[in-house]
Structure formats: C-alpha cells, structure tokens
Amino acid sequence: MRCPYCRHADSRVVDSREADDGQLIRRRRSCPECGKRFTTHEEAVLAVVKRSGVTEPFSRIKIIGGVRKACQGRPVDEDSIALLAQKVEETVRAKGAAEIPSHDVGLAILGPLRDLDEVAYLRFASVYRSFDSLADFEREIETLRAAARARAGAAGADGDAGAAAGAAGRTN
C-alpha cells in the first residue's frame, strides 16, 4: 500500500489486530522511505442488491442523502441524520450477510426515521412503500396516531400518579 505521506509505492505491516468481533482488521503500517506510520482498516464489502439485480457497495453517504431529502424543511439536524445512518449500517451489518437486498436497507431506515420525524417518515414511506392512494396515507397516519396516543397515555398515567402524590402531600 502506498504511503499517504510521501507517496512511496510500498509500506510494511508492523501490527495487525481484529476489531469489532473480527468484522474488521486494523493494520499499523510503516513507510520504509520516510519512516512515518499510518493505519488501515480492512472489512468485507457489504453488497446491496437492487431490484434490477445489480449490486453496489453499501454506502452510508447514500443513506444520509436519501434521509436528508425526506427531512427537507423539517427541524432535523445533520448530526441526527448521521446517527440514523450509523444505526442503519449497524443493523444491516449485524445480519452478517455478504449481500443484502436494497429493500431490507429501506426497512432498516423506516424504524429510526419514524422516531426522528413523523413527517419525514411519511414522505420516505410513501415513496419506499409506493403509496398510491390517500387510503395508504390515512392508514399510516392512523398507525402513527395510535403510537402517539400510547406514548401520551403512558406519560399521562405517570403524571396523574405524580399529581395524586403531590395532593396527598399537601393534605398532610
């Protein structure tokens, strides 16, 4: 491997160790020309199989691009999008397969995107799951409302308990 400092055509491996449970190999290299050291990573390429059958390497940048588009005009910052893409990559890599259908990558995005922003989620889901009628949107929105009600219900129950405890405290 070429030295990134002086561009010398060769380098020597001085140390090699596994990381991430053997999913990654990290090598420490030394340049015989300038003597500088640098690190390289080696990991299996995760291939994404598109519907056409064409494969391409998994790209976190692509995930970020797609999610950013869905989040246009929404109060979602770049850090959250980067974190979501990292989560998606971890999910798809955790399957341990060499290839993954692009459909499964989309599925891995839907969950975390719903937690991040419901409007962005609806935009993404409408394209990804090819909604073709208002009924599709209505069904999805009803699911989101039910989830929001469940969350509010849980929070409300806690709030009531707190208020009751407070009232009991005041009477004593």
Contact residues: Zn ion, CB under 5 A: 3, 5-6, 8, 31, 33-34
Minimum distance, C-beta of residue 25 to Zn ion, in the bound complex (Å): 22
Minimum distance, C-beta of residue 56 to Zn ion, in the bound complex (Å): 33
Q: Which is nearer to Zn ion, 37 or 103 (CB)?
A: 37
Minimum distance, C-beta of residue 16 to Zn ion, in the bound complex (Å): 19
Q: Which is nearer to Zn ion, 4 or 159 (CB)?
A: 4
Minimum distance, C-beta of residue 34 to Zn ion, in the bound complex (Å): 3
Q: What is the DSSP string of the chain?
A: ---TTT--S--EEEEEEEEGGGTEEEEEEE-TTT--EEEEEEEPPPEEEPTTS-EEE--HHHHHHHHHHHTTTSS--HHHHHHHHHHHHHHHHHT--SEEEHHHHHHHHHHHHHHH-HHHHHHHHHHHTT--SHHHHHHHHHHHHHHHHHHHHHHHHHHHHHHHHHHHHHH-
Q: Which is nearer to Zn ion, 5 or 131 (CB)?
A: 5
Chain centroid, CA 68 distance in Å: 12
Q: Which is nearer to Zn ion, 31 or 88 (CB)?
A: 31
Q: Which is nearer to Zn ion, 8 or 93 (CB)?
A: 8
Minimum distance, C-beta of residue 29 to Zn ion, in the bound complex (Å): 10
